[in-house]
Amino acid sequence: MKKAKNISGQAPGGKRMALAEALPLSTPFVVQLFPIYACNFKCEYCIFSVDKKKRHFISDKPVMDFDLFKKCVDEFVLFPDKIKVLRFVGIGEPLLHKNIADMVAYAVSKKVAHTLEILTNGLLLTPKMSDSLISAGLLRIVVSLQGTSKEKYREICGANIDFDKFVENLRYFHSHKSNVKMYVKIVDCALGGKDDERKFYEIFGSVCDNLAIEHIVPIHPEVNYKRLKIGGDMSLTQFGLPVSELKICPQPFFHMQINPDGKVVPCYSWDYPEIMGDCNNQSAYEIWNGKQFQNFRRRMLDGRNGVCNVCAECNISKYRLFPEDVLSDKDAEKLKKFYE
């Protein structure tokens, strides 16, 4: 059986183009659909390990209505180009949404994106769920692991799982997946040293197309990372690249996220810098090209420290940054005229 390719230290989605050369974008490269604010894990490095009362505003509704979802997808056709990646992810586990396979099928039928993917912890990826997602036309699935044994899962995310069955479910998906690309990853704090790393590659090397070890990074201020047994290097990004200071956050220039309640945010931050619009009464196209989003981008070109406190204190961009996405001062000066 063909072994998975190890892509540790690389962009999981493959080769990236220089963002500065592509801007301004009339169509976002990435649209994240956040279907459900809930999770079946409480990973110690994640926001779900923090008491809900201590989290910032997330969404007025925990579950996206299927009708709102269809409205959003129907209106994606207003964009002049196809979205590069339509991604089901957010703060929680997408497979908990009862209509997730129907959502995938509907989005595929509308042909609004080049790639449609789901990020999941994989626990609910039963053969029945796998068959539904594959039949729906899913093109990429990313499975985030929390250990190489049931004991490690209990330690990292507080879940008691049947580990052997879990692995077999992933194997089922991989053996039946047709054209779906399957990427399996694990964070270094969920591994117990070099022997455990080898175990990770041995167990999962035959149940996916690509796999990688990613670094745990301090992206949630509410999480006490010092108490974690991190095994990684805080001088590296999540993807194993050198960390550098970041003046201009690139995310609002290529990405938007639609939350379960329909509100749109500009980035991956859990503490939203600003709400850009509401898909209940606007289209994603209107929001993406609207004055509020444009003004936010224009302020960002002067540096994130001057946008708002959330942007100034955010670690997410710099710990998830790829060199191709860096916007220099020279790039900013050239781009400002497009965001006036």
pLDDT band at 189 (very low <50, low <70, confident <90, very high): confident
* Residue 252, Cβ density class (10 Å: 0-12 exposed, 13-18 middle, ≥19 buried): buried
Contact assessment for residue 314 and residue 276, using Cβ atoms and an 8 Å cutoff: no
Q: How confident is the model at residue 229 (pLDDT cuts 50, 70, 90)?
A: low
User: Of 165 and 40, which is predicted with more confidence?
Assistant: 165
Residue 335's pLDDT is what?
97
Pairwise CA distance, residues 284 & 287, whole Å: 5
Mean pLDDT throughout 52-79?
92
Q: What is the pLDDT of residues 115-135, one digit of tens each?
A: 999 999 999 999 999 999 999
For 76-98, the DSSP string reads HTTSSS-EEEEEE-SSS-GGGST
> Which of the given ranges, 190-204, 245-259, 317-331, has the highest pLDDT on average?
245-259
Per-residue pLDDT of 234-264, as tens digits, reads: 778 888 788 888 999 999 999 999 999 999 9
Give the model's pLDDT for residue 93.
96
Specify the pLDDT at position 231.
42
Q: Which pLDDT score is estimated for 227? A: 63
Report the distance separating Cα 85 and Cα 30, nearest Å.
5
Name the band, by pLDDT with cuts 50, 70 and 90, for residue 141. very high
326/340 Cα distance (integer angstroms)? 21
DSSP-based three-state secondary structure for 42: coil
Mean pLDDT, the chain, integer: 91
Q: What is the end-to-end Cα distance of the chain in Å, rounded?
A: 55
Task: Give the single-character DSSP code of 136.
Answer: H
**Digit-coded pLDDT (tens) for 15-59:** 788 999 999 999 999 999 999 999 888 877 777 777 777 777 889
pLDDT above 90 as % of the chain: 69
pLDDT of residue 147: 93
Mean pLDDT of 104-121: 97
The three-class DSSP label of residue 184 is strand
